[in-house]
Amino acid sequence: MTIRFVESSKLPTPWGMFTMHGFSDDGADKEHLVLTMGDVSNGEPVLARVHSECLTGDALFSMRCDCGPQLQAAMHKIALEGRGVIFYLRQEGRGIGLLNKIRAYHLQDCGADTVEANERLGFGADMRDYSILKPMLEHLNIKSLKLMTNNPRKVKALREMGITVAERISHQTGRNPHNARYLETKRGKLGHLFEEGDDSWTSQEPPDENESDV
C-alpha cells in the first residue's frame, strides 16, 4: 500500500471554511480526501468522522441509506466545535464499488437485506480497509480521535491498527421510511449501536413490506 500526499487547498462550505487534503493511493489507483478545520495537530483528541464514499447518498440525495445526512451532520458538528477532521475514503458500497452496489440494490429491491445482497454477489458484508488511514493521520500529525460513528467494528479496527480512539460519539441522523429496514439490518447483523431515545431513530414510521432497503 502506497498512500501519497498530493496537495491541500481551502474548501468553503455552508458550514464554514475547511482545508481539503488530497491523497493518492497509487497501489489501488484511488484518490482520497481529508477535510480539516482548526488546529488538528496540537495533540488533543480530534472530533473525527471516517466516512466511506457514497455517491448515491452524498451527491444524489438517496434516502436508501443515512450516508448523506451523516456526512453533513459531521461537517456541522465540526464547525460548531471549530476543530475536527473528516476522512473521505473512496470505498463505495462498503468496499464493493459503485456498479456492484447497484447490483446489490437490485437484489434488495427483490427482498434481500443489505448483508444478504452483498453475500449473494460473493462479497463479505463489509469489505472496507481502514489501514489507509494511518499514513494520512501521520501526515496530519493527528494523535487521537473522538470518532463520530455508530459502528463498534470501526472503532475496533482502528484500535487494532494502533490508532487511538479516545471516545466514540453516537452519530444518528437521516432515518426515514425508505431506510428503516437498512438501519435495522445495521443494528441486527452488523452490530451498529443506536440509541432508541434519539429523535432521528424514532421520529419516522416504519415502512411497509415493499419499501426499498440498501
Annotated binding site for GTP: 49-53, 70, 92-94, 114, 149, 154
Q: What is the rounded distance in angstroms from the CA atom of residue 138 to the CA atom of residue 133?
A: 9
Query: Which entry of 128, 175, 181, 213 is annotated as an active-site residue?
Result: 128
Provide the grid cell at 67: 450516508
Range 10-16, long-range pairs (CB < 8 A, 24+ positions): 11/35, 13/75, 15/72, 15/75, 15/76, 15/78, 15/79, 16/79
Residues placed in the known binding site for Zn(2+): 54, 65, 67
Whether 29 sits among the annotated catalytic residues: the reply is: no
Provide the grid cell at 15: 458550514
Provide the grid cell at 78: 465540526
Whether 58 sits among the annotated catalytic residues: the reply is: no
Residues placed in the known binding site: 49-54, 65, 67, 70, 92-94, 114, 149, 154
Query: Which entry of 25, 66, 126, 213 is annotated as an active-site residue?
Result: 126
Provide the grid cell at 121: 454477489
Q: What is the rounded distance in angstroms from the CA atom of residue 132 to the CA atom of residue 210?
A: 38
Which among 137, 149, 157, 144 has a CA at the least distance from the CA of 173?
149
Catalytic residue numbers read 126, 128
